[in-house]
Amino acid sequence: MVTIKDIARAANVSYSTVSKALNDSPLVKPETKTAILTKAKQLGYTPNFAAKHLVTKRTNTVGLVWPEINRVALTELARHVNKMMAAKGKNILLSISDPIEAIALFSRMRSDAILLFEEDIPQNQLPAQLDIPLLSYGVPGINQFPTVGVQHEYAMELAVSSLVQSGYSSIGYVGMVNGIGRRQLAKQAGYLGALKKRGLEPILLDTKGLNSLDGSTAIAAFLTKSSLPDSLICSSYDIAVGTVRAIRQAGLSIPNDVAIISYDNIPQQAEGDVPLTAVGVPVETLAETLVQELLRLIAGEDGLVQELVPELVVRTSSRLRKQ
Determine the angle formed by the axes of helices 237-249 and 72-87, rounding to 10 degrees.
150
**Whether the Cβ atoms of residue 133 and residue 114 lie closer than 8 Å to each other:** yes
CATH number of the domain that 77 lies in?
A: 3.40.50.2300
Q: Does any domain span residue 56?
A: no
**Do 115 and 11 reside in the same domain of the chain?**
no
Q: Does any domain span residue 54?
A: no
**Do 97 and 213 reside in the same domain of the chain?**
no
Task: Provide the number of structural domains found in the chain.
Answer: 3
* Peptide bond just before 122 cis, omega within 30 deg: no
Residue 80 has pLDDT above 90, yes or no: yes
The pLDDT value recorded for residue 23 is 76
Angle made by CA atoms 55, 56, 62, in degrees to the nearest 5: 130
Q: Does any domain span residue 53?
A: no
Q: Which domain holds residue 194?
A: 152-281+312-318
**Do 123 and 191 reside in the same domain of the chain?**
no
**Do 204 and 255 reside in the same domain of the chain?**
yes
The pLDDT value recorded for residue 54 is 45
- pLDDT tens-digit series, residues 128-152: 677 899 999 988 766 578 999 999 9
User: Exposure pattern of 236-264 as b/e (b: 16+ CB <10 Å)?
Assistant: bbbbbbbbbbbbeeeeeebbeebbbbbbb
CATH number of the domain that 13 lies in?
A: 1.10.260.40
Listing DSSP states for 191-219 in one string gives HHHHHHHTTPPPEEEE-SSSSHHHHHHHH
The pLDDT value recorded for residue 142 is 62
Mean predicted confidence (pLDDT) in 258-285: 96
**Do 294 and 259 reside in the same domain of the chain?**
no
**Whether the Cβ atoms of residue 173 and residue 204 lie closer than 8 Å to each other:** yes
**Do 68 and 213 reside in the same domain of the chain?**
no
The pLDDT value recorded for residue 163 is 97
Residue 226 has pLDDT above 60, yes or no: yes
Q: Does any domain span residue 323?
A: no
Q: Does any domain span residue 85?
A: yes
Q: Does any domain span residue 11?
A: yes
**Do 232 and 196 reside in the same domain of the chain?**
yes
**Do 217 and 291 reside in the same domain of the chain?**
no
Q: Which residue has the higher pLDDT, 254 or 45?
A: 254
Distances (CA, A) of 271 to 9, 135, 219, 278: 52, 32, 22, 12
**Do 70 and 127 reside in the same domain of the chain?**
yes
The pLDDT value recorded for residue 192 is 98
